[in-house]
Every structure is written in C-alpha cells, then in structure tokens.
Structure 1
Amino acid sequence: MAATERSPSLFVRPLGAVENNPTALKLILGGKLRELRVSAGLDPADVDDRLGFSRSKTSRIELGRHGCKPADAEALLRLYGVEDEELVTEFQRLVTQSRQSDWWRSFSDVLSDFFTPLVALEGAAAIIRTYEPFYVPGLLQTPAYARAVIESGPARLLPHDVRRRVDLRQERQRQLDQPDAPRLWAVIDESVLMRTVGGPRVMREQLEHLAAMMRRPHVTVQVAPLDVTASVGVGTGVTYLRFALGDLKDAIYIEHLTDSTFSQKPQSVEQYRDMLDRLGACALTPKESLVLLEERIRRYS
C-alpha cells in the first residue's frame, strides 16, 4: 500500500452522532469483533480459552453487554489478524470513547432497566418512528403534560421522583435540538387529542407545543383517525429506531405495564416497520393533522 493511501476503515463512515453515544459504540464494536472472529474461523469459547478470558466474556463483548478494555481489544485484534496500524488506532480510539459515561446514567435512580435500551440508543438513530395510542409521545411532551402522565401511572411516586422523571424526559427532548438530531416521525391515535390530560390548561399548552413542533423540518406528526387504528389492528404503542449505519442494526421498542420488548431481530423489526408504514399511509397527512390539531386547540380557548 502506498504511503499516501489510507487504510480502509473497519466501520461504515461517517459515524456521526453515534461517536457520542457509548452504548451504540459498544454495539458497533462488538458486532465488528464478531465479524472478525467469524472470518478467523473461531468460536467464542476458543477465544475465551486462548486469551484467558472468563467464560462467555467474548460473547458479552460482542453483544455490547461488556465494555471492551483497550488491552482486550488489542489482544482480540491481534488474534483475528488485524495488524494494520491505522485500523488498530481507529479501533482503539472508538474503544476509548465507548468507555465514557452515558448522559442518562445520571438518571439511574429513576430510569428503569426496561426503559434503558430506548433512552440509550434513540440519540444515535437517524430516524425515530413511533406510534402512540394513549398519550402524546414522550419526545413531544411539555413538562406539565409529562408530569400528569407520570403521576397517572400505576406506581405511587414521591414528588422528587416525579420531578426526576420529568427532567429525564426533557433531557431526551434536547437531542432533537442537536445539529445531527434524528428525524422524528410520529403517528398518534386520534383519541390522544380528545383525552384531556392534566386539565384543560395543561392540555391546551401541550397541543400548542405539539403544533409548534410539527412545523420543524425534521419532525413529522400524523393523526390516525379511530377507524384507521381499528382496521390496522395495532394494539399497542411501538418505537422504531432506524440507524444510518450498516454497523448498527435497526431496533424496535415496545413498552408494557411493567417491562418492555427491545429487539433487533430482522423479522420482528420488519413486521413493526410494515405496521408503521400502513399506519402512515392510512393516517391524515401532516397538513391535515395540523388542521385537526388547531381545531382541538380552539376548543380549549
């Protein structure tokens, strides 16, 4: 290779917002190490034995559940035959960044384990698609509306915990203000506009905020009439994360009463993407949705 020619990257470029997301980086690095291991013809157990790792450590690193230390990365790359200095340096730089603390860890006192996968990865997405049958999506909620939603939940929370959950929701929303913010495409059930959450004043403020967000170029909101959601047969809310990188698989998140489903299995992701496509095709257009929303706002005057 000529001295002026750069080594081809191990990763799909550019990484963009992903470089500032330690959780996403762990998944990307783990996936790349898995590819390199398979190419080297090795099983995870073989790697554990050869490098003196504890049982299943290689598998946990590949799944992004175990942070990869620089020394481990060096040993793994050497074992897999990656000797190019540029590639090793790039890999180690991303390993270092993946070991930084995620912003959401400061909310670990109120962040449930089942909600963590969504919070951890939504900022790294290129597109966030969501369907919400009961409330305005969390990324579009005002503080007062969010407080009313949180207080109506099944758990009896102390005022401090309610405030912390509202703060977490607002911190998530700040990701939409970043230069590399994901595009948000939300479909909400028509009943969401009819359900007065927190009282008339809170609801009016929420609907006005929703209308303002709909005018942003990277935010699309559609209202699905009641007969549409009945015919499509949705059943529950879902969030779909679309990543621009081939190194990070798309994901779906479905929240239940006390737990959630988070999956990157292609078949599951495709099924819910198709469902969102059908909803979007049958729902009111963004312009029609805004007209309906403004009509609801006038009713709270």
Structure 2
Amino acid sequence: MPAGGKPTVRSRRVGSELRRLREAAGVTTAQAAELLSCSAAKISRMENGIVSVRVVDLRLLLDHYGDEDQEHRAYLERLARESNKRGWWQDYGDTIPPYYADFIGLEADASYIKTWEPTTVPGLLQTPEYARAVMLANPAMVSPDKLENFISIRRERQARLEQGTDARLDAVIWEVALITTVGSDEIQRGQLSRLLELMERPNISVQVLPLEAGAQASMSGSFVMFSFGSERSVSTVFVENLTSSQYLEMDQELRGYTLVFDALQSAALSPAASATRIRQRLEQRK
C-alpha cells in the first residue's frame, strides 16, 4: 500500500494508465483479476492508486492490454517502483496542503507541461520577488507564516526546468500579465527580464496572447496540462480557482482543454514576436 495508506501521485498515475489501457482493450476488471489470480476489487484498488502494483503484475497486465510502446512501459515500471518513494516536497511537512502536494508530484513526473495564465506570469517562470508579491496580494492563497516556505518550494520546482532536464514547458500568457504591476515597477521589470532569459532555454516556450487578439476561449481562468513519459497527448488537467481546485482526466474533458490550448497558441504571437512584445513592455517601464 502507498505510504501512509493513501494513494500517492505515482500510484494514481499508474492506476489511471492501467484503467485507460484496460478499457481501450475491452477487458473487464474480472478478466484482469483472473489474469493475476486476484479479486476484481483488488484490480479496482490498483486502478484507484490505493494498492501499489508490483512490476511483475504490471508487465502481465500491459502484455494482456496490448501495450507495445516500450518507452511507455518503461515509464510505468519506473513509477511503479517509485510509488512509495518520498518526494522532496514532503520535507516541508504540513506547509503544503494535500492538493498542492499532488500538483507538485504531477509536475515532477511530467515530461510535458502546458499552461495558460490570463493575469499573472506562470509560477514556474516567476522570480522570488514577483511570487512573494502575488501571494501577499491574495490573503486566501497562503498564510504569512508559511510564505517563505512556499517561495522556497516554488524555487525548487523551477530548478527542474532550469537544470536541463527532459521536461518541457509551453506557456501562453495574456498580455495583461505583462502590463499589470505586481508589487512594484522594480519587481515587474525584474520579472519581465527574467522571462526573456528563460525564453532562451530550449525546453521553455513562452507565447504572449496580445490585447489586440480580442476575446478568446478560457480568458477567465488559468489551467495546467500534463503529459507523461513518451506520450505527447494530455493525461491530466489541473484547474484552480480562489477556494478550490480539481484534476480532470476524462477523455472528453482532456479533448476540450486541448482544443482550447491549441486555439490560444494559434491566436498568440510566435515565441520570437512574444519576446519582442515583452521587451517593448519592459522598455515602457524604464
């Protein structure tokens, strides 16, 4: 069982993939259970991440479900082996609420991250000063006594992208985020300069949705999309509002958000033109 008797992000990820593959293969839980000589209830617990999946059982199920993608299989085997492994973020204890710990876990395992932000710079691209100002501006976001821990956590999240890993980030930002002063002019200038630096990295793409683009889909709320392993298709979408958050994994939901993100990317400036627009907004603040 995952540590603490609760599903971990990795065990849920393995379970979710097993359910998807089983349903795509037209196999029932009873048939899967017969293969492993266990109960259908145990298969259900595996798919919900409540019970860890042994690698030997995982291989049997993947063979039975017809998964011949060796990279995908290797990815799932790694997750299965590490399902009880302690994540670096757990060192922060109860500083991190459960939903945020889940988010960090997904982000840490993702090979491809796509994010849309209509009002602020995405967290993975924020400077510490900008992040602090954003958090202080929202009293419901984090209590003052935990603020510096949250900023440290964000910095550790960013380090993964900045250390040349295989993870890739595609961000679309509404131009409103470039012209809204967060904290002070100095903080905003520092943030715009940092954006330009990060855009030079091969695994980071930033596109600006210009004001002149007019009304677009999902301009009212941000979201983050995760892909895992060799798969480029989206597996999980994270949506957050002022007081709650949710993870979406149903095929219809994933297709909808993928269409919206593709539309936002198409309406946005190219990365090169986006860099030019950011420089223009930076010059206006000097």
Q: Please give the TM-score of this superposition, normalised by the length of structure 1.
A: 0.75
The corresponding residue for 1:101 is 86
The superposition leaves residues 52-100 of structure 1 with CA deviations (integer Å, 9 ceiling, x where unpaired) of 89xx554232122x24175xx7789899999xxxxxxx99876442221
Alignment-mate amino acid for residue 24 of structure 1: R
Distance 1:51 1:136, change over 3 A: same
Question: Alpha-carbon deviation of 1:255?
Answer: 0.7
The corresponding residue for 2:221 is 236
Superposition CA RMSD, Å: 3.5
Bigger mean CA offset, 174-183 vs 213-222 = 174-183
The corresponding residue for 1:215 is 200
Question: Alpha-carbon deviation of 1:151?
Answer: 1.1
Match of 2:14 among 28, 50, 56: 28
Q: Flag the structure with larger Rg.
A: 1
CA distance in 2, matches of 1:278, 1:162: 35
Match of 2:30 among 31, 37, 43: 43
The superposition leaves residues 233-275 of structure 1 with CA deviations (integer Å, 9 ceiling, x where unpaired) of 5321111112244599611111111111211211111111111
Identity of aligned pairs, percent?
A: 30
Gap regions ≥5 residues in structure 1: 1-21, 83-89
The superposition leaves residues 116-137 of structure 1 with CA deviations (integer Å, 9 ceiling, x where unpaired) of 3321112222221111011100
Question: Alpha-carbon deviation of 1:36?
Answer: 7.0
Gap regions ≥5 residues in structure 2: 1-7, 65-73
CA distance in 2, matches of 1:52, 1:274: 39
Q: Please give the TM-score of this superposition, normalised by the length of structure 2.
A: 0.78
The superposition leaves residues 159-201 of structure 1 with CA deviations (integer Å, 9 ceiling, x where unpaired) of 4300011111111111103443311111101110111101111
Q: Is the 8 A contact 1:133 1:237 kept in 2?
A: yes
Match of 2:244 among 240, 246, 259: 259
The corresponding residue for 2:273 is 288
Q: Is the 8 A contact 1:254 1:262 kept in 2?
A: yes
Question: Alpha-carbon deviation of 1:114?
Answer: 2.9
Question: Alpha-carbon deviation of 1:26?
Answer: 4.9
Say which SS state the counterpart of residue 99 (structure 2) adopts: coil
Match of 2:52 among 45, 65, 68: 68
Corresponding pairs, count: 266
Distance 1:61 1:281, change over 3 A: same
Say which SS state the counterpart of residue 236 (structure 1) adopts: coil
The corresponding residue for 1:168 is 153
CA distance in 2, matches of 1:289, 1:60: 46
Is residue 2:122 matched to residue 1:147? no
Distance 1:172 1:156, change over 3 A: closer
Q: Is the 8 A contact 2:115 2:223 kept in 1?
A: yes
The superposition leaves residues 126-156 of structure 1 with CA deviations (integer Å, 9 ceiling, x where unpaired) of 2211110111000000001001111111328
CA distance in 2, matches of 1:74, 1:193: 51
Q: Is the 8 A contact 2:192 2:282 kept in 1?
A: yes
Say which SS state the counterpart of residue 43 (structure 1) adopts: helix
The corresponding residue for 1:193 is 178
Bigger mean CA offset, 223-232 vs 281-290 = 223-232
